Amino acid sequence: KPNRKPEPTGPEKIPGIDRIIAVASGKGGVGKSTVAANLACALAAEGRRVGMLDADVYGPSQPRMLGVSGRPQSPDGKLILPLRNYGVTMMSIGLMTNDDQAVVWRGPMLMGALQQMLSQVQWGALDVLIVDLPPGTGDVQMTLAQKAHLDGAIVVSTPQDVALLDARKGIDMFNQMKTPIIGMIENMSTHICSNCGFEEHVFGHGGVVAEAEKLGVPLLAEIPLHLDIRLASDGGAPIVVSKPDSAQAQAFRKVAKSL
Ligand code: ADP
């Protein structure tokens, strides 16, 4: 199968960055950024030197999720100093625009911004750079694969058919770009009531497991729909940081250990 191809793709490696792992989804709103933020914090908790490049041009949410604000400084007008929280060195396309400025990027601008984030940001020495991709199969994905040495991709999906259909397209794109698929993560797998612990399969059950099996890619985790996860992400301290002993945080830690 093409997705078993071990060779990473893309041009030259970025000096100092050991591995680049993209977190992708076919559809928006499936929790891709939440997964990316928690994986980054979990990697940091493992003692890995980790960076987060938030390339989700349509809804950059890493500054909010990782609790950072302010403008990245550029003392010499060339190099950009990233921000840092929870042991994660981060830069977001959202920090290069105003909060309420609608992002209507044209192709070349997009490439320029992405290129800047890859080459002008002083990432320092990193074991892993996580890239939070926009949903879908567009320009950013293509540019990234052309400009950077992508070592692997993690595809996040909910169990719903519509989301799975788009996730499949995403996996297909990575196969075409010869980016190895590390695995899929099922998010909002079941709903766990924060009051009584009752578990309900809001978006159906088993969809991603079956899809992963069909595509021959590993299922890395099943993350439930849980109020604590939303409160944590939206409050600027991902659950891996704010409730490290919870089952949800442990699930992310387990994935991070395997990376
Ligand atoms: P995407 O990056 O795919 O657009 P987000 O990570 O921004 O999705 O998630 C969309 C919303 O859903 C956010 O408010 C987030 O906090 C919430 N969310 C994501 N995953 C979960 C989960 N497992 N349980 C509860 N809320 C979640």
- Asked whether residue 46 carries a pLDDT value surpassing 60, the answer given is yes
- Asked whether residue 99 carries a pLDDT value surpassing 60, the answer given is no
Cα separation, 111 vs 117, in Å, equals 10
Q: Quick check: 34 and 187 in contact, CB under 8 A? A: yes
Q: Quick check: 195 and 228 in contact, CB under 8 A? A: no
Structure tokens at 134: 């926009």
C-beta neighbour count of 202 within 10 angstroms:
14
User: Who has greater pLDDT, 146 or 46?
Assistant: 46
Residue 135 is predicted with a pLDDT of 92
Overall average pLDDT of the 218-242 stretch: 95
Cα separation, 60 vs 51, in Å, equals 15
Overall average pLDDT of the 13-22 stretch: 91
Residues in the chain: 259
pLDDT class for 181, splitting at 50, 70, 90?
A: very high
Between the CA of 127 and the centroid of ligand 1 the distance, in Å, is 26
Residue 127 is predicted with a pLDDT of 98
Q: Quick check: 83 and 90 in contact, CB under 8 A? A: yes
Binding residues: 26-33
Name all residues whose Cβ lies below 6 A of ligand 1.
25, 28-34, 59, 61, 187-188, 223, 225-226, 229-230, 233-234
Whole-number average pLDDT of the chain: 88
Between the CA of 33 and the centroid of ligand 1 the distance, in Å, is 7
Overall average pLDDT of the 235-243 stretch: 97
Atom 8 of ligand 1, residue of closest alpha carbon: 31
Task: Tell me the β-bridge partners of 17.
Answer: 126
CATH of 2-258, one of 3.10.129.10, 3.40.50.300, 1.10.540.10, 3.40.50.970: 3.40.50.300
Q: Which atom of ligand 1 is nearest to the CA of 27?
A: 3
Would you kindly state where each structural domain of the chain is located, as residue ranges? 2-258
Residue 9 is predicted with a pLDDT of 55
Q: Quick check: 163 and 193 in contact, CB under 8 A? A: no
Binding residues for ATP: 26-33
